[in-house]
Structure 1
Amino acid sequence: MPLLIDIRAGSHPSEGFDRIAFEFEGLPGYTVGYVSEVVRDGSGESVDLSGEAFLQMVFNPAQAHDDEGESTLGDPPVEPVKVGFAALDAYVLTGDFEGYVSIAVGLTGTLGFHVAQFSQSDGDYVVYVDVRRP
């Protein structure tokens, strides 16, 4: 099962985008798309995520916890993490259950985005989303 081990956000003004990247041990499948509301998986509880538009990323199969149920992220973003970039405003982990990991990203507007992946020399994989800066 691919394990999510890191989430990184960065601003790239000279290239015209902000990026959020997800590092995995193993390569998961994934979908990315706009949603009208951010909710927690399972409970359906609404999440107060800052932003004018929201991207939802769902990785499957994947998990963000080990066999003992401990998070594989140093500081799991179960509460929104504010980054405040030109395009990327905040992100939050909305689910890690039965082979699905869900993360929502608050954006400053409905902006164009590009999703890609690459493998690192250490064997880990990175899936990233570049969001066009307004």
Structure 2
Amino acid sequence: MPTQPCTSPVIELLPPANSPPAILVDVRTGTRPDEGYDRVVFDFRDNTSTPGFSVSYEEEILEDPSGNPLPMLPGAKLLVTMRWAAAHENGNPTVPPGDLDLRPNLPRIRQVRRAGDFEAVLSFGIAVAPAGDPAPFRAYALPGHRLVIDIAHAGQNPWYCGQVYFADQQKIINGIDPPVTAVERRLTKPAVAGAALQELFKGPNEAERERGLLFVDSHATGFADLRVSEGKVAHVRLLGPISSDGSAVITIANEITPTLKQFPTVDWVKIYDEDGKTERPDGPVDSIPEQLEP
């Protein structure tokens, strides 16, 4: 796990290759001091799609396709790569020239500059103050064909930097216990436990799947009725006709339990089937439904 939370790459699935390119029409920045972050927004034309994207800190931002270093103001370098996207159409730019090199001088964001627009790969570099000290960030798509990057102000914690535990195929093959590995996720406050389970059900991202991580869902289609009772006991009901498929190594319970126990308000986890049944419903002890037994 990273030594500084919420600085790991954010990767969202790429759209199908036959999707129409997402056409960028606007880039804007702003600051929200009351909420504790600066923001960059990439707006795409409504009749196109929102692109797949990756956002990560890099030692240096390179221009695409030349490979030359991109001249930028001092700061940590955040690379935003949008795939199956473009800032031009029929050879004409679709973004005002001033949007290609913004210098807003915000608390964190000093510059947003286009790095490439080639073969449906659109990239921008963001100079984040101060240099040498990457600030926590989050990145996500919003309705209305918008890609948003938020960068936390110094000393602020506008979102919870938590973990989600996925099944690890290498650990399973080699008999290593526990058979799960934690990955970093940005969790929306205040309902961070529910946000963590939502991230679990989304499954690992592309890079995490390449590392051999996967979501074992045990046929659960979702969850409901998440609550934490006195005694630091978390309760969650799984939806769908769940089954362990006879596995004595890994079920969804192996992923849910540590994902919830990371929070200081949770010492015990009770998982219920869709009918609200679990093997040990009472007392300070973990519990799973009978269907998750091997």
Q: TM-score by structure 1 length? A: 0.90
Matched, 1:15 2:38: no
Matched, 1:40 2:60: no
Q: Deviations over 1:23-63 (max 9, x none)?
A: 11211100000011122111112222113201000001111
Q: Deviations over 1:68-94 (max 9, x none)?
A: x1111022545x421111111101001
Name 1:58's counterpart in structure 2. Answer: 81
How far apart in 1 are the matches of 2:126 and 2:74? 8
Contact 1:16 1:133 (C-alpha < 8 Å) held by counterparts: yes
More helix by share: 2
Aligned runs of 1:37-116 on 2, under 5 Å?
Answer: 37-67=60-90, 69-75=91-97, 77-78=99-100, 80-109=101-130, 110-116=134-140
Cα distance change, pair 60–77 in 1 and its aligned pair in 2 (3 A): same
Structure 1 residue ranges without an equivalent (≥5): none
Contact 2:61 2:125 (C-alpha < 8 Å) held by counterparts: yes
How far apart in 2 are the matches of 1:39 and 1:76? 20
Structure 2 residue ranges without an equivalent (≥5): 1-20, 155-294
Contact 2:137 2:151 (C-alpha < 8 Å) held by counterparts: yes
Contact 2:63 2:116 (C-alpha < 8 Å) held by counterparts: yes
Between 1:47-56 and 1:10-19, the stretch displaced more is 47-56
Higher alpha-carbon Rg: 2
Greater RCO (CA < 8 Å, at least 6 residues apart): 1
Q: Deviations over 1:74-123 (max 9, x none)?
A: 22545x42111111110100100001000000000310001111112xxx
3-state SS of paired residue (2:81): strand
Over the matched positions of the two proteins, sequence identity in percent amounts to: 26
Q: TM-score by structure 2 length? A: 0.42
Matched, 1:30 2:50: no
3-state SS of paired residue (1:20): strand
1:129 to 133, 144, 149: 149
Contact 1:76 1:93 (C-alpha < 8 Å) held by counterparts: no
Cα distance change, pair 34–46 in 1 and its aligned pair in 2 (3 A): same
More strand by share: 1
Q: Deviations over 1:8-35 (max 9, x none)?
A: 1001111100000001121110000001
How far apart in 2 are the matches of 1:106 and 1:58? 15
Runs of 4+ that moved beyond 4 A? none
3-state SS of paired residue (2:65): coil
3-state SS of paired residue (2:44): strand
Between 1:69-78 and 1:31-40, the stretch displaced more is 69-78
